[in-house]
Amino acid sequence: MLAAIEARDVPGLVACFAENGVWQNVPHEPWVGHAEIGARLAAVLDRSERVQWDVVTASFAEHRAWLERVDRFWIDGVEYAVRCNGVLEVDPPSGLIREFRDYVDLGEWRARLRAAGPLSTG
């Protein structure tokens, strides 16, 4: 998933999810299924020249991962970085992500992106 994000490969990213997988940028409503997840993430990935997600710490349980990250997006030559914490739930038989919950300070993210113009990930 991280490699697909950094490659800005929306189809590759969506393929990491179960067909009815869920991505939620908390506290917004979740995006459900490949089409919605892909459309929403394409808004930021297609607009970015480069994406880099730096994992600061990671913790793993049987079917769950916690990733504390600094997400970096370069838009119009300017880097926008935001601190995040993601929780991934994986479907054991398929190995696909069934739920990804991302926690971020939306005020910080919006303030940093304001100069980039219209862009929505929420």
The full set of domain ranges for the chain reads 2-116
Residues 6 or more apart in contact with residue 48 via CB below 8 angstroms? 8, 73, 74, 75
Cα-based distances in Å from 8 to 29, 59, 61: 23, 25, 28
- Indicate the average pLDDT of the chain: 91
Q: Which CATH architecture has domain 2-116?
A: Roll (3.10)
Phi, psi (degrees; rounded to nearest 5) at 95: 75, 5
Q: How do residues 21-74 score in pLDDT, each as one tens digit?
A: 999 999 899 999 999 999 999 998 999 999 999 999 999 999 999 999 999 999
Whole-prediction pTM value? 0.84
pLDDT of 87 reads: 98
CA distance 87 to 84: 10
Q: What are the E-state strand segments in 16-109?
A: 17-26, 31-32, 50-60, 64-75, 78-90, 97-104
Choice between 96 and 107, residue whose per-residue pLDDT is larger: 96
H or E element at residue 110: helix 106-113
